[in-house]
Amino acid sequence: MEFTAKAIAEFLNGEVVGNLEVKVNNVAKIEEAKAGTLAFLANPKYTKYIYTTEASIVLVNKDFEPEDKIPATLIKVENAYESFAKLLELAEQAKPVKQGISSLAFIEESAKIGAGVYIAPFVYIGENAVIEDNAKLFPHVFIDDNVVVKKNSTLNSGVKVYHECVIGENCIIHAGAIIGSDGFGFAPDENNVYRKIPQLGNVLIEDNVEVGSNTTIDRATMGSTFIKKGAKLDNLIQIGHNVQIGENTVMAAQAGIAGSTKIGKNCQFGGQSAAAPHIQIADGVQVVPQSGIPNTIKEEGSIVMGTPAFNIREFQKSFIVYKQLPDLYKRVKELENELKKLKGE
């Protein structure tokens, strides 16, 4: 599909600077774009490319003022990155919608299937499962007994959802994710042999959640592991049993949250960050990548760093000293030697 600069500007409430009728049929990075594509400029690090890009249209922020001639047509918007995301959503919605149930899928008779669903070959749907309207299940998805997948949710290839778990509306679960596997619960007996603690709860994922590839979310020992509405989990994340992830909290790849920890809303966890079990993290907390949180964080909106994690400014001050330790050690040794000489004299 082709769109003119004028049509795009009207959709985004933007202002065209250049040719109103120039057309694009694809999107591209500003540094790699070719004629007929649309790019965007949001990060100042990429400003140099706007003067050489071959893109036909570039989205820019309203306050952008060029320092040289720009060959592309510009569309000025409030937020170039956000507007570019809206265009990608529009392109995604324009794709053909898959519907229908493959004859190669196996669906238990007691399962309930809504209207407009897509169930691909080699999908299994267990007893008393509910697949609501317009849900999409791609090849090799496994839906266990009594699972509920609500309206408009998409489960990509190889997703496994264990018994009793619930996936809300408009969720996206990426390939290989596992929802509802047993929590890591074992208790040593008198012989120090570990006995498995039955995991009798489930996982409850609320609406508009996205779960990345090969992420695992463990079922609760009792009750539910909660992923609240709007949360976004990257690939390769481990969520332990009875954890609660708050609304609109985001986590980057390889984060790990130990059992029974409660995380507030609007938090941000960097890659390879981790939280200890049975702690609470306040709303709006930001965790720097590779940080480890051993204790409860009560201060809302705080930024923490390090292992053990603490206030980022204090950590940065400490790190300045840490980098100087070799020199400080050398000076201490020199002072000790001088002191020994003085005592000898």
Task: Please identify every residue annotated as catalytic.
Answer: 241
Backbone angles phi, psi at 8, to 5 degrees: -65, -45
CA distances from 336 to 324, 332, 341 (A): 18, 6, 9
Residue listed under structure tokens 């324009």: 94
Rounded to the nearest 10 degrees, the angle between the axes of helix 5-12 and helix 80-93 is 110
Instruction: Tell which residue, 92, 86, 91, 63, has the closest CA to residue 10.
Output: 86
Answer whether 63's CB lies under 8 Å from 82's CB.
no
Cis status of the peptide bond prior to 188, with omega within 30 of 0: no
What token pair was written down for 253? 């790849």
Answer whether 308's CB lies under 8 Å from 296's CB.
no
DSSP 183: P
Residue listed under structure tokens 């000898």: 344
Answer whether 99's CB lies under 8 Å from 115's CB.
no
Instruction: Tell which residue, 165, 106, 110, 98, has the closest CA to residue 136.
Output: 98
**Number of Cβ atoms within 10 Å of the Cβ of 277:** 15
Phi-psi region of 305 (alpha: psi -120 to 50; beta: other; left: phi over 0): beta
Rounded Cα–Cα distance for residues 228 and 248 (Å): 7
Backbone angles phi, psi at 72, to 5 degrees: -80, 155
Task: Determine the straight-line distance between the first and last CA of the chain, rounded to whole angstroms.
Answer: 91
